[in-house]
Structure 1
Amino acid sequence: MSDVRLVLRSRRVLTPEGERPATVTVDGEGRIAAVLAYDAEVPSGAALEDVGEDALLPGLVDTHVHVNDPGRAEWEGFWTATRAAAAGGITTIVDMPLNSLPPTTTADNLRIKREVAEPKAHVDVGFWGGAVPGNVAQLRPLHEAGVFGFKCFLSPSGVDEFPELDRAQLAEAMAEIASFDGLLIVHAEDPGRLAAAPQKHGPAYADFLASRPRSAENDAIALLVELAARYGTRVHVLHLSSSDALPQLAKARAEGLRVTAETCPHFLTLTAEEVPDGATEFKCCPPIREKENQDALWQGLADGTLDCVVSDHSPCTTDLKTPDFGTAWGGISSLQLGLPAVWTEARRRGLALTDVARWMSEAPARLAGLQGKGAIAPGRDADFAVLAPEETFTVDPARLHHRNQVTAYAGKTLHGVVRSAWLRGERVADHGTPTGKTGRLVERKTA
């Protein structure tokens, strides 16, 4: 215990074994030394942070963040994104390979992105690689360079420099990724189903919703399951919005396929019925669907068919959110708000804070293979979020640290105030204000 430099104490510590009063000690390397009884003695020379009745969660891990830096840093950059993450209790993000210029589709492009991110990181940052037409030969070098896996689209991504894969290209990429036991993460919407759907421009949300039918997700996931069975590839379905796909995901897993899936705060907390016409801050692809669909997604989380909840933080400049759902940029900014948004709805449904920690910290860390993250347990990084679960606040976009304060949550009252965030035992946010830049770049082979 002589190496202990920090002690955190709470009546509500969320450990892998459940919630309990505890004292957590942090060693000089920024790792958790022990989880002790609540009244354990504080070692001589150690600083004590007693958070009382506030909950001590493992720092959140968000494996679905579009930072867009370099190239489109006016949409979001590593400085602002990681500050927003810290303010929201997120201590590790994994950046998506598109919307930056260049995209992370080669090892050289990954090097450029790392050089840009390292001096700006307030929290730990890792990277996904990209699988696009013509870059199969780049996948293994990217894997060896430390990306956590590879993202692809099955329908147009919205940016020309990151094209979608057709069936043959998808099969080729999956075979290659399986050869080194990598992970493929997929934006799963079938382009044929999208092309056949009515495509009306204008302010009506109902028209936009009809243009992205559930069948597009369902058919794309069926293809992924078919190819995962053929090649043995680890596959993860991104931002699932269609609850109709849950049975086939459950069946695939029951048959032993390594297929996982995530959903997002906006699918769990917002509904199509509440989206005003012209309110394109609610536009994302796949879309926010009806309340009965949302209820089924919550059931998918409860029964384990869905693994994790991550933001899909996909920001843009204000001018790109035109009132026309057909032309507005599709993406929802929620990096700083995901924890209180999800907790507000989970609490209303009678679910526990331990569930939220599992979906938003433990499971994303496991997905990416971040072995030092995701739990308050000896040997893990001393990454924490301190949350006042029963306190409320009303979302004021001006108080967000995102580069652009466009949010679908504006004016909503949420439960759960993030008091502070800690990264390897250093405070990185205090009452909504980022306090220090101690983030590091993390990679698959050293995480």
Structure 2
Amino acid sequence: MTFSLRSRQVYLPGGPRAATVTVAGGRIAAVSGYEDPVDGPVTDLGPLALLPGLVDTHVHVNEPGRTEWEGFASATRAAAAGGVTTIIDMPLNSLPPTTSVAALEAKRAAALGQCHVDVGFWGGAVPGNAADLRPLHDAGVFGFKSFLADSGVPEFPPLDAAGLADAFAAVDALFIVHAEDPERLREARSSRAYADFLASRPPAAEVSAVGIALAAAAAAGARVHILHLSAADALPGLREARAGGVRVTAETCPHYLTLDALAVPDGATEFKCCPPIRDAGNQDRLWGGLADGTISVVVSDHSPSTAELKRRDTGDFAAAWGGIASLQLGLPAVWTAARERGFTLADVVGWMATGPADLVGLARKGRIAVGADADLVAFDPDAVFVVDPAALHHRHPVTPYAARELSGVVRTTWLRGVPTGASPAGELLLREDVP
């Protein structure tokens, strides 16, 4: 089927302009002038902006094995509702973790037929599996995640500096690193005060671990990506390493850009994540890292669990699971804060669609261009809503954004030209060669 969408705000690679986007066979067949004649039916989106579907490269789906925490059906339904048309699933907290080809096959089997958006997979680099990395890469994972500190689950232990070097030597791939140095972390004492938890994970732990990852990447000539950067103190080291030729990129997350440690109520464990949400001054510097390109990607780190594991009964930050589920809310959360700081919707598209797609080499995703997949979002940037947890689609509607007023509403999401809805139509993606 061929059809066209018209908008006065089509977010193209060169910037927004009035245009008509024609879709045929699930791909973008043409981008023409707003009033140009086209074949087939045309829908004028009126005041709505037309964005490329977002790409979220940091999602914990947790299926198989911990499907009671989340699952492919619920996670991808939430993604579609939030304008996300592609996710890359983390190798934990599923059972088994994606650390072998057999485990990848189990993960793909669990996902088959359940996904409302397209889904790819990361592999895991853990102690003792260096020999599995090349076969996993050949089987289609997009790269390899490792932790330098305790992951929170026993089946996915951390690497030390030597283990990270061994992984880099095993395969030429993209390595994504949870960078906290266990030597700089402190044991969190039982407490309802967020400040006590925050003190247990100081910025120095991130700065040190980022340094370890950068040194290993420089020695091996490896490509490394720093996950969920929380501590702005690490930005100078990233800039210096990149200037020195290290192939390094970095991401941050909506919660680090929008939430303030000093505003977290006692016992509000829905705010707990690792690394932690920090203060407003640190947040300002993270926005500066986005402005100068040191940080190029904004992704959710959607890390759900059961409500019980969040220990909302006791409000004990030390005992609660660390993770924020925000797959559906990332776009409005970031857009609300970005606009207040003078950034544009084109900036947000770069950070949340094109940047993540480029990170993993998905050339047909994250952009409105001829030949790209027709993954599109009709977005009302001026609509305002109050977050109602009951309206969220992920399995357990626990969120630090509850009752928060946000700007920007997703009106329709198209996956390869078809509106997302009740029937799962997502495909399972394999790694494409990165130029």
TM-score, structure 1 length as denominator?
A: 0.95
Q: Say yes or no: does 1:10 pair with 2:2.
A: no
Equivalent residue of 1:61, what SS? Answer: strand
The correspondence for 2:274, drawn from 281, 285, 299, is 285
Letter in 1 for 2:30: A
Deviations 1:112-142, CA, capped at 9 Å, x for gaps: 1001101101000000000001000000000
Alignment: residue pair count: 431
Equivalent residue number for residue 250 of structure 1: 239
Pairing partner for 2:36 from 37, 40, 58: 40
Q: 1:207 aligns with which of 188, 196, 208?
A: 196
One of 147, 151, 162 as aligned partner of 1:157: 151
Contact 1:275–1:282 (Cα < 8 Å) also in 2: yes
Q: Is 2:168 aligned against 1:174?
A: yes
**RMSD, aligned CA:** 1.0
Q: 2:365 aligned to 362, 369, 373, which one? A: 373
Equivalent of 1:349 in 338, 341, 348: 341
Q: Counterparts of 1:368 and 1:436 in 2: how far apart (Å)?
A: 27
Cross-structure match for 2:49: 55
Q: Structure 1 residue 42: deviation in Å?
A: 2.6
Offset, 1:386 = 1.1
Task: Report the Cα distance in structure 1 between the residues aligned to 2:52 and 2:121, rounded to whole angstroms.
Answer: 21
Paired residue type of 1:26:
V
- The aligned amino acid for 1:61 is V
The answer for unaligned runs of 5 or more in structure 1 is 429-433
1:141 aligns to what? 135
Paired-residue identity, %: 63
Using a 3 Å threshold, how does the CA distance of structure 1 residues 175 and 157 change in structure 2: closer, same or farther?
Answer: same
Alpha-carbon distance in 2 for matches of 1:341, 1:436? 27
1:90 aligned to 2:87? Answer: no
Question: Where does 1:34-433 land on structure 2 (aligned, <5 Å)?
Answer: 34-43=30-39, 46-177=40-171, 181-194=172-185, 197=186, 199-322=188-311, 323-428=315-420
Per-residue CA deviations over 1:38-68 (Å, capped at 9, x if unaligned) read: 001130xx23222111110100000000000
Instruction: Summarize deviations over 1:397-438 as a string: whole Å, max 9, x none.
Output: 00100000000100001000100101110111xxxxx34321
Q: What is the letter of the counterpart of residue 428 of structure 2?
A: L
| CA positional deviation for 1:445 | 3.4
Give distance in 2, aligned partners of 1:439 and 1:363: 21
Q: Distance in 2 between matches of 1:202 and 1:38?
A: 58
Deviant stretches of 4+, over 4 Å: none
The offset of 1:168, in angstroms, is: 1.3
Do 1:8 and 1:51's aligned partners in 2 also have CA atoms closer than 8 Å? yes
- Partner-residue secondary structure (3-state), 1:414: strand
1:445 aligns to 2:432 (yes or no): yes
- Cα separation, 2, equivalents of 1:24 and 1:446: 27
Q: Distance in 1 between matches of 2:216 and 2:411?
A: 45
Once residues 49 and 138 of structure 1 are traced to their aligned partners in structure 2, the CA distance between those partners, rounded to angstroms, is 49
1:424, 1:202 → 2: CA distance? 48
Deviation string for 1:308-338 (max 9, x for gaps)?
0000000000111111000100000100000
d(CA) in 2 for partners of 1:418 and 1:59? 11
Structure 2 residue runs without a partner (length 5+)? none
Give, as a single letter, the amino acid of the residue that structure 2 aligns with 1:335.
L
Which has the higher mean CA deviation after the structures are superposed, 204-213 or 49-58? 49-58
1:229-253 per-position Cα deviation (integer Å, ceiling 9, x unaligned): 1000000000000000001101111
Q: Shift in Å at residue 256 of structure 1?
A: 1.4
Q: Tell me the alpha carbon deviations over residues 75-115 of structure 1, each in whole angstroms, 9 at most, x when there is no partner.
A: 10000000000000000000000010010000010001001
Return the offset for 1:446.
7.7
Whichever residue aligns with residue 71 of structure 1, its letter is G
Q: Are the equivalent residues in 1 in contact too, given 2:361–2:433 (CA < 8 A)?
A: no
